[in-house]
Structures are given as C-alpha cells and as structure tokens.
C-alpha cells in the first residue's frame, strides 16, 4: 500500500472544482473576490499592463479597481437559507431505543440540529460523511457513542469494492482528512497534517468481512497494522464501518452534482457581467482632454474642472473624447434577464406571498417543481442518519428496528390564508363532501390551532353564547324593565 495517505479518490478529484465553486458562492462576495482571476479574469489591456507580474503595476492597479467595482449576487445563500427554513419548519420525527436518547454529535448537538447541518451540506456541495465513534477516555457510565460529520472536502478517499468483486458492495475503506491547526505553548498555531483511516479486515486487501478498525496517522508515517485498533463498546466490536456517505439524492459512495450547481455557476456569470458593466459605466466618466494648437510641453500641468483654466493660442481648440455608451443598454438587459433567471432558480421561486394571485393548480405545480429536489435531499439526509443510528444501536447491543428518522416534508404545501379558508367553507356549504373535522385537521397541521377538534368546538360554543347573549353591564342592567324613579324625584 502506498505511503501517501493523502491520495484522492478519482471521483473526489473530478468533483472538487464544483464543491469549491459552491462553497465560494455561498460564502459570498468577499470569498469570491479573494480568488481574483479564478472567477473574474483580467482584461487584455490589464494583462498587457503587467497585471500578472505585479500588483503595483498599471495593470495590477487597474485590475484591483475592476474587481472592487464588481458586485457578486448572493442568490445561492438566499436559496440555501430558504430551503433550510422550509425543510425544518417542523421538527423531524426521530425514534430511538431508550438507551440512545441522549445521543449527541461531537459538537454537543441534538439529533434534529444535526440533521439540519446534514441538509445544509447537502444543499451546498451535495455530499458529506457521517460517522459514529466512541469517546477516547470515557467516564464511567458516559461511554455512549457520538456522531461526527465530515464535509465533502475531508472525505478524500473511499472503497466499496469492485463491481464484479463485492456484491453487494460493502464500504471497507474510508480515509478522512483531519488536518487542523494546533495551539502551541506560546499560543501560536501550527498546522498538523493527519488522516483517519477506517477499514474492515486486512487493510491491504479489499475485504467485505472482518472486524472494524481505525487509526490516525500523519503524512510520511508508514501505514502498518499496529497503528490500527478495533474500537469496542464494553468489549463489543463491529463488523462494518459505522459510516454513511450522504449525497443529494442517495447514500451511495458515488459522487452527486450539487443540487444548486446551476445556480452557483449562474451567479459567477452574473458577477463577470456585472464587472464589465460597471467598468463601462466608470469609463463613461473618464473622458480624455484633447487640445488642438495648444503647444503644451510634456511637463506642463493641465487642470480641468470648475475653477480651472486652460490658456490656448489664438485659433486653438480643446475638447473631450470619451467612450460611447453604445452597448450599455444591451448589457443592462442581459444582466436583468440573468438575475431574473437566478431568482427563479433560488429563493424567490418559493415566495408565494409576493406574487399576484395564481390559480391553485398553477401554484401547486410551480412549487412542486422546485421542491422535488428538496424532497430527495430530505429523504437522503434522514436515511443516512438513520443508517448510522442503526449501526450505533447494533454496536451497543440495542434493537436497530427501534430506530427511525422521518424528515419533515411539508414544505411544498399551498399557504392556508384567510381567503382560502373562506373558499373552503363556502365550498363545503355548497355540497363539497368534507367534514368540519377534516378542515380542523388541516388547520392543526398548519399550526393555525393547537387545540383538538372537541376543544375547538367547545370554545366556539362559548364564544357563540357570549356573542348572541349580551353581558349585563351598568348600561344594560334591567333592560326591558320599567325604569325606577330617581331618589327624591317626582313620580310620573
């Protein structure tokens, strides 16, 4: 086996540029601009003026201004945040054996919060790893496993056998990059390269059976059996790697395209178009002064603007020549179309409140078309978490069948508004065969009420009595009775 443990899986190498682009698109303008020419190439004149050789050259200074004026749109971040909000508008249903109810992530998160982070990574890069592990130095009675997530950039290598060899394919090797900065004695920080290896059986063979082992090594160390240990919970080992690879739409080892990759790429296109458009706008105000018959020397200082004066000989002339505005309108229209397209691919597609009224069927189709991917992401994330929890249950001698994770998928429903409720009540009175209890269940599901049907009906009866039977007050007490004469007054 090669000593170079940082070797990458071929699919990892192929997919890495997409992951980098999506991570940068989500981080926003500062991250994108820090990558300079990766996303915004210099113009030909900037390169000729020395942009590639020196930041202080004329070309370098011009490029710095060029990139500073550009604007990067944040549609990717908006889309991710909108999707996460909808996917977790209601909590997932997670069932566990009693002994596992205290299970947490290595960051101390409960399982619903962990699932939210899983979905977040699925939306950005479309891939992450989830592992169950044991405490290194457990305290008595506190040796429950915990869950660890690995972003896709740290899941650098894996193996589940060849298509012909291992059927069904079994994950038998995972290499995780755990490189990090470690604080030194003088409070400075030093980068330490290290990798965690997860294997089944003999690490030099492609095996589908054997005891699960893991080890931590640093770059340059020789990979050898003594470096591996078999984690055990009270003497109980595993015969599988407690690890799940979660993609956008499945939990297989093969990589998926990020669900929002088209949107991320479109944002980069808009960024480059914005840079050119704003560069042209800037050039509109940078006219060149031309003097005819001025006979100025090269060292002469010429001032322009209010309060300045240029002296020319008799018959001389001066004028400005600048860049024409031809083409600006086309650039502006092109950017407008791209931004409209990005909006439709992102968060605004799911915004039903800011649009003109649509027919119910049209609205349902439009939302369903955009939430299909969200449903796949929710299912894959929940299934990956469930699989690791089942392996954890098996590890600590609990029943895996008691484990289930059901994600919230009520993010594509039509909004229940006052007008839609009136329309449903009107349709019911006109003969629509639906019961009041069914309408209540719909209201309960949309969190318009928290009461049961019986409680709601009882409250409605109370309100009916209070509405149609005026309460006695000082003003209406004794209403309908002959008025009593005031004390000391004349009798009628």
- Mapping DSSP onto H, E and C, the string for 47-114 reads HHCCCCCCCCCHHHHHHHHHHHHCCCCCHHHHHHHHHHHHHCCCCCEEECCHHHCCCCECCCCCHHHH
pLDDT given for residue 211 in this prediction: 92
pLDDT on residue 367: 47
Render 278-346 in DSSP notation, one character per residue.
HHHHHHHT-PEEEEES----TT-----STT------TT-EEEEE----TTHHHHHHHHHHHHHHHHHHS
Q: Which residues contact 173 (CB under 8 A, 6 or more apart)?
A: 157, 158, 159, 197, 198, 199, 200, 203, 206
Q: How many CB atoms lie within 10 A of CB 49?
A: 19
pLDDT of residue 210: 87
CA 305 to chain centre: 50
CA proximity to 177, closest of 125, 216, 143, 220 = 216
DSSP string of 237-277?
--SS--EEEEESS--SSS----TTHHHHHHHHHHHHHHHHH
- Contact criterion met (CB below 8 Å) for 65 and 286: no
Task: Quote the pLDDT of residue 460.
Answer: 85
| Contacts of residue 65, Cβ cutoff 8 Å, sequence gap at least 6 | 282
* Euclidean distance between the first and the last CA atom of the chain, given in angstroms as a whole number: 118
Cβ-count burial 467-490 (b if 16+ within 10 Å, e if not): eeeeeeeeeeeeeeeeeeeeeeee
Residue 349's pLDDT is what?
A: 43
CA atoms within 13 A on the CB side of 24: 21
Write the CB contacts of 480 (distance below 8 Å, at least 6 apart in sequence).
none
C-alpha 174/C-alpha 132 separation (Å) is 13
Report whether 193 contacts 5 (CB < 8 A): no
Cα 455 to Cα 77: distance, rounded to the nearest angstrom: 43
Q: Which of 146, 130, 153, 122 is nearest to 19 (CA)?
A: 153
DSSP secondary structure code for residue 350 in this structure: G
Tokens found for residue 273:
């178009």
Q: What is the DSSP letter of 196?
A: E
Beta-strand ranges (E) seen in 338-485 are: 404-406
pLDDT profile of the chain (492 residues), mean per 10 = 67 96 96 96 94 93 94 92 89 94 93 96 96 84 90 94 68 92 94 91 75 84 70 91 95 91 94 89 74 71 73 77 72 86 65 44 48 82 97 95 93 68 88 89 81 88 69 51 48 38
Asked if 152 and 110 touch (Cβ cutoff 8 Å), the reply is: no
Name the strand (E) or helix (H) holding 18: helix 10-27
Cα 329 to chain centroid, rounded: 34
Query: What local confidence, expressed as pLDDT, does residue 333 receive?
Result: 87
Q: What is the pLDDT of residue 355?
A: 45
Residue 58 CB partners (closer than 8 Å, separation 6+):
49, 50
- Give the pair of three-digit tokens for residue 184: 């030194």
């Amino acid at each position: 086996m090669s000593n170079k443990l940082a070797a990458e899986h071929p699919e990892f190498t192929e997919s890495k540029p997409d992951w980098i682009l999506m991570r940068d698109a989500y981080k926003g303008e500062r991250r994108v601009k820090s990558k300079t020419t990766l996303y915004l190439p210099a113009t030909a004149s900037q390169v000729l003026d020395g942009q590639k050789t020196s930041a202080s050259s004329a070309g370098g200074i011009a490029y710095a201004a060029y990139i500073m004026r550009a604007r990067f749109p944040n549609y990717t971040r908006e889309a991710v945040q909108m999707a996460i909000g909808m996917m977790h508008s209601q909590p997932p249903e997670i069932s566990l054996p009693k002994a596992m109810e205290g299970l947490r992530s290595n960051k101390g998160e409960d399982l619903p919060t962990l699932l939210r982070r899983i979905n977040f990574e699925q939306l950005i890069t479309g891939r992450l790893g989830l592992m169950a592990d044991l405490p290194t130095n457990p305290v008595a009675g506190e040796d429950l496993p915990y869950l660890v997530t690995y972003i896709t950039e740290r899941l650098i290598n894996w193996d589940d056998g060849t298509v012909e060899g291992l059927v069904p394919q079994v994950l038998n090797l995972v290499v995780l990059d755990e490189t990090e900065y470690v604080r030194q004695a003088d409070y400075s920080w030093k980068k330490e390269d290290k990798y965690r290896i997860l294997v089944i059986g003999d690490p030099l063979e492609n095996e589908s059976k054997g005891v699960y082992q893991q080890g931590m090594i640093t770059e340059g160390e020789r990979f050898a059996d003594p470096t591996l240990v078999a984690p055990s919970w009270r003497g109980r080992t595993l015969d599988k790697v407690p690890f799940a690879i979660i993609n956008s739409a499945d939990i297989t080892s093969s990589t998926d395209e990020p669900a929002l990759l088209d949107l991320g790429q479109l944002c980069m296109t808009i960024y480059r178009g914005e840079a050119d458009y704003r560069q042209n706008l800037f050039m509109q105000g940078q006219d060149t002064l031309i003097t005819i018959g001025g006979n100025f020397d090269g060292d002469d200082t010429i001032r322009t603007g209010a309060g300045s004066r240029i002296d020319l000989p008799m018959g001389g002339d001066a004028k400005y020549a600048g860049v024409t505005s031809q083409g600006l309108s086309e650039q502006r229209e092109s950017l407008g179309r791209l931004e409209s397209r990005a909006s439709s691919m992102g968060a605004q597609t799911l915004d039903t409140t800011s649009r003109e009224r649509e027919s119910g069927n049209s609205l349902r189709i439009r939302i369903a078309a955009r939430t299909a991917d969200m449903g796949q992401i929710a299912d894959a994330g929940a299934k990956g978490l469930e699989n690791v929890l089942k392996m954890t249950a098996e590890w600590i001698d609990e029943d895996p069948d008691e484990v289930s994770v059901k994600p919230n998928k009520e993010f594509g429903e039509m909004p229940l508004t006052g007008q839609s409720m009136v329309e449903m009540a009107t349709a019911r009175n006109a003969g629509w065969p639906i019961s009041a209890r069914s309408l209540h269940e719909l209201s309960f599901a949309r969190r318009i009420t928290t009461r049961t049907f019986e409680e709601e009906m009882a409250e409605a009866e109370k309100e009916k009595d209070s509405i149609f039977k005026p309460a006695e007050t000082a003003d209406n007490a004794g209403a309908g009775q002959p008025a009593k004469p005031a004390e000391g007054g004349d009798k009628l």
